[in-house]
Structure 1
Amino acid sequence: MCLGLPMRIEELNGPSALCSADGHFEGVDLALVPDAQVGDFVLVFQGAARRALDAQEARLIAEALAGVAAIMAGEADAAAVDRAFADLAGREPQLPPHLAAAYAAGRKEA
């Protein structure tokens, strides 16, 4: 499985950047987010920034990934899982708007 990681841009180098996450530094291609600046967060997948993130979204993704790592290592209890997925805990799953519309259009009332 491949995951996108939230990273912070530390330094711009033309069409690429030096980005960091948890003390790890990586060169990242910025072709898909050309307006990104130092200090911005980007979602990085296979060495390329796919889209810009705001600080809160970057934090939520990082917390979820840390939660998954803790679960896989057998180090997470139910409270830790709820903290890692705070934006999802205690609510019903929701379809994205385009899928919700398609679902509603295809649903038949009884």
Structure 2
Amino acid sequence: MCLGVPMTVLDDGAFTALCGRGEEVRRVSMLLVGAQAVGTKVLVHIDSAVRVLDADEAEAIDRALEGLAAAMDGRAFDHLFADLIDREPELPEHLRS
């Protein structure tokens, strides 16, 4: 299974950018999203930025990935999904009748 992960643009360029996530830093293709300013959050999939993220969405994805890792390690993860615990699931707007 392949997952896209949020990364932050550390050094911008026209076609590629140096992006980081925690200790990891790598060169990422920016062809699908265009050049982005330093500090911009992008969703990276197989070394290509596939879309620009706002800070809230990047944080939600980070929490979900951390929760997945915690579940696989047998650690507590409920605190990472606090926004989902006490409410009913909601369909995305385009699936609502």
TM-score over 0.5 (shorter chain): yes
CA shift digits 1:5-41 (9 cap, x unpaired): 0000000132111100011011111112114211100
Deviations 1:16-74 (A, max 9, x none): 11100011011111112114211100011111111111112111211110111011011
| 1:88-99 mapped onto 2 (5 Å cutoff) | 88-99=84-95
When Rg is computed on C-alpha atoms for both structures, the one with the higher figure is 1
Structure 2: give runs of 5+ residues left out of the alignment.
none
| Alignment partner of 2:80 out of 80, 84, 87 | 84
Aligned length: 97
Counterpart for residue 52 of structure 2: 52
Conserved 8 A contact 2:33-2:49: yes
The question of whether the paired residues in 1 share the 8 Å contact of 2:14 and 2:35 is answered with no
TM-score normalised by L of structure 2: 0.89
What CA distance in whole angstroms lies between the structure 1 residues aligned with 2:90 and 2:56? Answer: 20
TM-score when normalising by structure 1 = 0.80
Q: Distance in 2 between matches of 1:89 and 1:29?
A: 37
Computed over aligned residues only, the root mean square deviation of the Cα atoms, in angstroms, reads: 1.3
Query: What percentage of residue pairs aligned between the two structures are identical?
Result: 46
Task: For residue 64 of structure 1, give the secondary structure of its aligned residue in structure 2.
Answer: helix
Match of 1:19 in 2: 19
Q: Runs of 5+ in structure 1 lacking a partner?
A: 102-110
Q: Paired residue for 1:30?
A: 30
CA distance in 1, matches of 2:28, 2:39: 14
